[in-house]
C-alpha cells in the first residue's frame, strides 16, 4: 500500500479509477445490485477516492446524468416509437423476410453488417441501435439464429462507421483538428473499415453466437413483434421510413461539409432537419402515415402504440444516465488529464501514439466522442512537428483507439446489455471483445497501409 501512495499523482488517480471500476463490476456481476444504483455509488466512490469536494461530486453526477440523457432520452423515446410502428405494421417483418430471402438464412448475418454500416454513416451509435433493434429481433425470430449472431454484425457495422468513416461527426472532429483531406480520409476509411467490420461482425458474431445464448427482453420482444395478420407493407415504403432519419442526417452532414460556415439559409435548414432529434421526429410523424394510417390503423391505435412502447425503455434510460454520471466524475476528477500526461511522455510512432492516447481516454471516460475530441487536442501539436506523417491515417488511428475496450462506463455498453438481455460478464465477452477487435484489427490495417501510402 505504501508503494501505491508513493506513486505520482497521475498514477494514483488511475489506481483509484481501477478500484472504482472493480467495485462496479463486482457489485453488479456478483451481488446482482441494480446497475443504476451501483453506477451512482461507483461515481461517488471515485469522487471521494480522488479527493474531489463533496458538492463537486454531486454536481458532476447530476450534470453527467443530465448531459448524457439530454439527447439520448429523446432519441430513445422517438426511436422506440419508430420501432413500434415498424413492428405493429409488419414493416420489421417485411425487411427481415426480404433480407432472409435475398441472402439466405446462412448468410443473413452478412446482410446485417451491411445494414449497420450504411445506417451508421450519418447517425450516432445509439440512434442506429434504436432504429435497427426491431429488425434484429425479427430476423433472429424468423431464422431461429442466435440473437448475437444477428446483432453483433449490425453493432460492428454501426461502431466501425462511428469511429472511422466520415461524414460521421466523430471522425470529422479529428479531420478538422489535424487538417486532413476529407476525400482521402473517406477512401482510407473504407479500405480499413470494411475488412475490420467483417472480422468483428459476421466472423466474430458467428463464433460468439454459438457460445452465448440470450433471448431479447420479453417486453421489448413482444412490442417489436407484429401481432397482426394483415398484409405486410411494401419493402420500399418500409425501407424509406427506417432510412428517413439516416437520409435527413446525411443531408445535414453534407451541407455542413459543403458550407462549413453555414453562410446560406438553405445550409441552416439542412443542418436543422439533419439534427438527430429533428430527423427522428420527422421520421416518427412520417411513420404515423406510411405505417399507420396507410395500413388502416386508427388515430386511437397509433396513440396507444406510441404510449405503451415507452414503459420498457425507462430502465435503459436510467442506466445510460448512470453511466453518464460515472463518466463525468472520471473527467472532472482529472483522470482523463492524468492519462493524457502519461501518454504524451512516451516517444512512439505517431500512428501508435494517436491510437494509444485515444484508447486510454476511451477506457477512462467511456465515450468514443470524448476520446476522439480530447486526443485530437493532444495529438495535433505533435502532428505539427511530424511533417512526414500521413495525416489521414492518424485520423483513422485516433478513431480506432476511441473504440477499444468499451466497458461499464460507456453508455453504449449498457444499451447493448439491456437490449440484448445479457449479464455484465456476457456483455464483456461479446460486446467488449467485439469493440476491442474492431480497434486492434483497424490499427493493424492502418499500420500496414502506412507502409504503402
Q: Cβ-count burial of 1 within 10 angstroms (0-12 exposed, 13-18 middle, 19+ buried)?
A: exposed
Cα–Cα distance measured from residue 240 to residue 94, given in angstroms and rounded to the nearest whole number: 13
Split at pLDDT 50, 70, 90, the class of 285 is: very high
pLDDT of the residue at 95:
76
pLDDT of 184 > 90? The answer is: no
Question: Within 259-312, where are the H helices?
Answer: 265-274, 276-287, 299-308
320: closest CA among 67, 42, 83?
Answer: 67
- 158-162, 176-180, 194-198, 276-280 — which one is most confidently predicted on average? 194-198
Give mean pLDDT, residues 123-142: 75
pLDDT at 363 over 90: no
**Radius of gyration of the chain, Cα coordinates, nearest whole angstrom:** 22
79-107: pLDDT as tens digits: 778 878 877 887 877 877 787 788 877 78
| Alpha-carbon distance values, 174 to 15, 38, 373 (Å) | 29, 34, 7
Grid cell, residue 98, equals 426480404
Residues 366 and 376 sit within 8 Å (Cβ to Cβ):
no
Q: Give 254's contacts (C-beta < 8 A, 6+ positions apart).
A: 167, 270
Read off the pTM: 0.67
pLDDT at 45 over 90: yes
CA 239-241-244 angle, 5° bins: 100
Residue 53 is predicted with a pLDDT of: 93
The closest of 195, 217, 239, 227 to 140, measured between CA atoms, is 217
Q: Which residue has the cell 414503459?
A: 311
| pLDDT-wise least confident of 1-15, 54-68, 152-166, 281-295 | 1-15
Q: Which of 345, 408, 342, 410 is nearest to 371 (CA)?
A: 410
Cell of 149: 449472431
CA–CA distance, 237 with 86 (Å, rounded to integer): 11
- Binned at pLDDT 50, 70 and 90, residue 294 comes out as confident
Instruction: Read off the C-alpha cell for 161.
Output: 462507421
- Spatial neighbors of 122 by CB under 8 A, at least 6 apart, are 167, 168, 246, 249, 250, 252, 253, 274
Amino acid at each position: 500500500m505504501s508503494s501505491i501512495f508513493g506513486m505520482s499523482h497521475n498514477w494514483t488517480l488511475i489506481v483509484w479509477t481501477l478500484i472504482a471500476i472493480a467495485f462496479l463490476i463486482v457489485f453488479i456481476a456478483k451481488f446482482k445490485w441494480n446497475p443504476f444504483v451501483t453506477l451512482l455509488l461507483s461515481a461517488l466512490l471515485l469522487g471521494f477516492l480522488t479527493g474531489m469536494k463533496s458538492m463537486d461530486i454531486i454536481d458532476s453526477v447530476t450534470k453527467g446524468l443530465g448531459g448524457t440523457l439530454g439527447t439520448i432520452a429523446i432519441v430513445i423515446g422517438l426511436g422506440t416509437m419508430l420501432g413500434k410502428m415498424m413492428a405493429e405494421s409488419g414493416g420489421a417483418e417485411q425487411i427481415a423476410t426480404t433480407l432472409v430471402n435475398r441472402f439466405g438464412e446462412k448468410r443473413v448475418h452478412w446482410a446485417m453488417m451491411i445494414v449497420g454500416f450504411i445506417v451508421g454513416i450519418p447517425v450516432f451509435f445509439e440512434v442506429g441501435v434504436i432504429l435497427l433493434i426491431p429488425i434484429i429481433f425479427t430476423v433472429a425470430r424468423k431464422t431461429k439464429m442466435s440473437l448475437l449472431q444477428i446483432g453483433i454484425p449490425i453493432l460492428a457495422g454501426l461502431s466501425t462507421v462511428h469511429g472511422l468513416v466520415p461524414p460521421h461527426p466523430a471522425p470529422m472532429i479529428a479531420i478538422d483538428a489535424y487538417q486532413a483531406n476529407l476525400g482521402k480520409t473517406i477512401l482510407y476509411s473504407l479500405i480499413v473499415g470494411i475488412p475490420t467490420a467483417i472480422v468483428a461482425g459476421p466472423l466474430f458474431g458467428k463464433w460468439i453466437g454459438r457460445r452465448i445464448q440470450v433471448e431479447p427482453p420479453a417486453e421489448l420482444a413482444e412490442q417489436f413483434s407484429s401481432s397482426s395478420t394483415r398484409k405486410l407493407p411494401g419493402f420500399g415504403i418500409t425501407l424509406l421510413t427506417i432510412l428517413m432519419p439516416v437520409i435527413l442526417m446525411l443531408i445535414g452532414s453534407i451541407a455542413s461539409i459543403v458550407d462549413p460556415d453555414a453562410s446560406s439559409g438553405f445550409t441552416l435548414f439542412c443542418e436543422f432537419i439533419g439534427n438527430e432529434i429533428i430527423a427522428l421526429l420527422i421520421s416518427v410523424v412520417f411513420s404515423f402515415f406510411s405505417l399507420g394510417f396507410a395500413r388502416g390503423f386508427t388515430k386511437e391505435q397509433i396513440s396507444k402504440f406510441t404510449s405503451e412502447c415507452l414503459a420498457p425503455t425507462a430502465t435503459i434510460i436510467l442506466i445510460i444516465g448512470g453511466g453518464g454520471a460515472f463518466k463525468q466524475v472520471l473527467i472532472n476528477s482529472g483522470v482523463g488529464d492524468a492519462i493524457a500526461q502519461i501518454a504524451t511522455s512516451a516517444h512512439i510512432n505517431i500512428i501508435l501514439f494517436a491510437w494509444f492516447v485515444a484508447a486510454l481516454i476511451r477506457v477512462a471516460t467511456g465515450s468514443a466522442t470524448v476520446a476522439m475530441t480530447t486526443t485530437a487536442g493532444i495529438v495535433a501539436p505533435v502532428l505539427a512537428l511530424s511533417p512526414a506523417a500521413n495525416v489521414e491515417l492518424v485520423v483513422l488511428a485516433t478513431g480506432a483507439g476511441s473504440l477499444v475496450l468499451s466497458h461499464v462506463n460507456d453508455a453504449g455498453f449498457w444499451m447493448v446489455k439491456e437490449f440484448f438481455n445479457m449479464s455484465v460478464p456476457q456483455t464483456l465477452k461479446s460486446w467488449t471483445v467485439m469493440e476491442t477487435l474492431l480497434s486492434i484489427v483497424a490499427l493493424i490495417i492502418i499500420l500496414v497501409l502506412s507502409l504503402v501510402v
